[in-house]
Amino acid sequence: MHLLRFGNRILPPPLIMKIDPSLAEEIVSKALKGGIDQAEVFVKSVKNLSLEIKDQAVDSMNASQAFGYAVRIIKDGRFGFSYSTAPEDADSVIRNALETAKYADKDEYLDLPGPAGVADIEIFDPAINEISEGDAIGNVRLLERSVYETDSRIRKVRKASGSFTVSEAWIVNSKYVELGYVSTSCSAQIMAIAEEGEESRIGWDFDASRFLRDISFENIGRNAAANALRLLGSRKIKGGKAHVILDNAVSVEFLGIFAPSLSSEAVQKGKSLLSGKLGKKVISEKINMIDSGILSGRLGSRPFDDEGVPQKEKMVIANGVLMTYLYNTYSARKDGTSSTGNAVRSGFSSAPSVGVTNLLIEAVSKSDIVPKESLFGSIGRGLYVVDAMGVHTANPITGDFSVGVSGIWIENGNMKHPVKEVVISGNILEFFDRIEAIGDDLRFYGNIGATSLIIPDVDISA
């Protein structure tokens, strides 16, 4: 891990952009001298190279650098916030934060975290930091080329893209938090279109990591092609209730809809599926759900959250029982508990809210894990869902959903034919409560990871 500190603490190696931590220290000092009770400075610097390839030529490329900092203050129990991209604006940023505090209501739960030991985790890859434009282009060209090389029925490719990012963050506050880190990330995605006769089907794949070595541009392309090819020859089926296997990519989508309900902010505002359910069974007793900011290579991993609270692993749901909500410092004080290290910012221009780090599901017992090659045989007959459209339209408060899906019909434990024009509906909590087994194919898409899920008695409309 490239952890940055002041004084006798470790400083980063030479990087693409250097944040001068003394800027944050100076702003905090000025704020306190100006009569502010508590102050925090969050500084972020990001360098990104993103590109898209079309027919082996660069269709678009963007190399950017961004820098900015935000000041949070607490004065007389009121919250103030301001930000800038110019270091020389520090005095006016402090004044603006003070001005916003004048119009804020008093809030007894406002506070900043104090210092604590932070996680030791590798999140920096020199290969991404040092990648040349030529090498980046070569990787994305391979991504596109591998799709066409898979099968002659792949006729078109969309969005063959890659992104390579290096970022540095610092947090300094008046309660002696002085921390920073450098991180990297790399992602690639592609959409393949398979055609046979008059039929056309789309397949997609994506991968991301903090390490370049984890990304196989060739495999991503081949997976996208295979995902499109397996849907050729789709037929309609009769509606009814049936076993459903969610492909891990689809499971991730449903978990992504479930995730915001874990936020203590959502609970406190009455906008969570899980309000009032702490200590109660909320999903299948065969499932654990974990939020961890210390998984190697994962995009949500970092030594501390966006307030400086150390990252750790939390068992959010154990044996189907909700064990904790996710907290930042403010929401934790409101509930009389401690932050879980889940303060997140969408950028330097936003104050911390609550969000997941790396969220994943796992089986409680190994006996509930089905090897991927045995998934179809485990249900005998049903629908293997490989793509879902409109999962994001699920009601975030009631959990009700109705989404169009594509998949493969299973008979006698074997693939029979692809399926089209199918809708599955239900309620997310009930959906997760009926999980009877999971696959051994855990995969992350971004910072959410899931396996294939086997769910009985799902309503299917055709």
pLDDT tens column, 24-62: 999 999 999 999 999 999 999 999 999 999 999 999 999
Helix (H, G, I), strand (E, B) or coil at 393: helix
Look at 262 and 117; give whichever has higher pLDDT.
Answer: 262
What is the percent of the chain with per-residue pLDDT over 90, rounded to a whole number? 87
- Say if 234 falls within a structural domain: no
Helix (H, G, I), strand (E, B) or coil at 198: coil
Calpha distance 62→70 (Å, rounded): 25
Residue type, 6: F
Strands across the sheet containing 443-445:
321-322, 313-318, 287-292, 359-363, 448-450, 443-445
Q: Report the pLDDT averaged over residues 282-300.
A: 96
Domain edge (last residue) among 194, 229, 264: 229
Calpha distance 306→326 (Å, rounded): 14
Return phi, psi of residue 9, to 5°: -90, 165
Q: Is the pLDDT of residue 12 over 50?
A: no
Q: Is the pLDDT of residue 128 over 90?
A: yes
Q: Same domain, yes or no, for 171 and 255?
A: no
Helix (H, G, I), strand (E, B) or coil at 24: helix
Region for residue 419 given its phi and psi (left: phi exceeds 0; alpha: psi -120 to 50; beta: otherwise):
beta
Q: Same domain, yes or no, for 117 and 147?
A: yes
Q: Same domain, yes or no, for 40 and 17?
A: yes
Helix (H, G, I), strand (E, B) or coil at 427: strand
Calpha distance 244→461 (Å, rounded): 13
Q: Is the pLDDT of residue 7 over 50?
A: no
What is the percent of the chain with per-residue pLDDT over 70, rounded to a whole number? 96
- Say if 403 falls within a structural domain: yes
Domain edge (last residue) among 171, 203, 229: 229
Q: Same domain, yes or no, for 299 and 206?
A: no
Q: For residue 213, what pLDDT is reported?
A: 97
**What CATH number is given to the structural domain containing 195?**
3.30.2290.10
Give 150-168 as a DSSP string.
Answer: H-TTEEEEEEEEEEEEEEE
Q: Same domain, yes or no, for 183 and 254?
A: no
Sign, Cα dihedral of 445, 447, 448, 452: positive
Q: Same domain, yes or no, for 209 and 297?
A: no
Q: Same domain, yes or no, for 69 and 212?
A: yes
Confidence band (pLDDT; 50, 70, 90) for 18? low
Whole-number average pLDDT of the chain? 93
> Residue 389: which domain range?
240-461
Q: Report the pLDDT averaged over residues 225-249.
A: 93
Q: Same domain, yes or no, for 225 and 244?
A: no
Q: Same domain, yes or no, for 77 and 138?
A: yes
- Say if 282 falls within a structural domain: yes
Q: Which two tokens stand for residue 86?
A: 């110019």
Contacts of 131 (CB under 8 A, 6+ apart): 49, 164, 212
Calpha distance 368→440 (Å, rounded): 10
Q: Is the pLDDT of residue 8 over 70?
A: no
Contacts of 404 (CB under 8 A, 6+ apart): 388, 389, 390, 421, 422, 423
Q: For residue 15, what pLDDT is reported?
A: 45
Q: Report the pLDDT averaged over residues 11-34.
A: 77
How big is the chain, counted in residues? Answer: 462
Domain edge (last residue) among 196, 229, 262: 229
Contacts of 106 (CB under 8 A, 6+ apart): 76, 77, 78
Contact 245, 450 (CB under 8 A): no
Q: Same domain, yes or no, for 115 and 217?
A: yes
Sign, Cα dihedral of 318, 320, 324, 327: positive
Q: What is the pLDDT of residues 87-105, one digit of tens each?
A: 999 999 999 999 999 999 9
- Say if 235 falls within a structural domain: no
Q: Is the pLDDT of residue 108 over 90?
A: yes
Range in 12-26, 66-80, 185-199, 290-304 the model is least confident about: 12-26
Q: What is the pLDDT of residues 382-423, one digit of tens each?
A: 999 999 998 888 888 888 999 999 999 999 989 999 998 899
Q: How many domains does the chain have?
A: 2
Q: Is the pLDDT of residue 13 over 90?
A: no
Q: For residue 6, what pLDDT is reported?
A: 38
- Say if 379 falls within a structural domain: yes
Q: Same domain, yes or no, for 174 and 151?
A: yes
Q: Is the pLDDT of residue 179 over 90?
A: yes
- Say if 206 falls within a structural domain: yes
Closest CA relative to residue 169, chosen from 124, 203, 128: 124
Calpha distance 130→144 (Å, rounded): 23
Q: Same domain, yes or no, for 383 and 289?
A: yes
Q: Is the pLDDT of residue 251 over 60?
A: yes
Confidence band (pLDDT; 50, 70, 90) for 17? low
Q: For residue 9, what pLDDT is reported?
A: 38
What is the model's pTM?
0.93
Q: Report the pLDDT averaged over residues 168-192.
A: 96
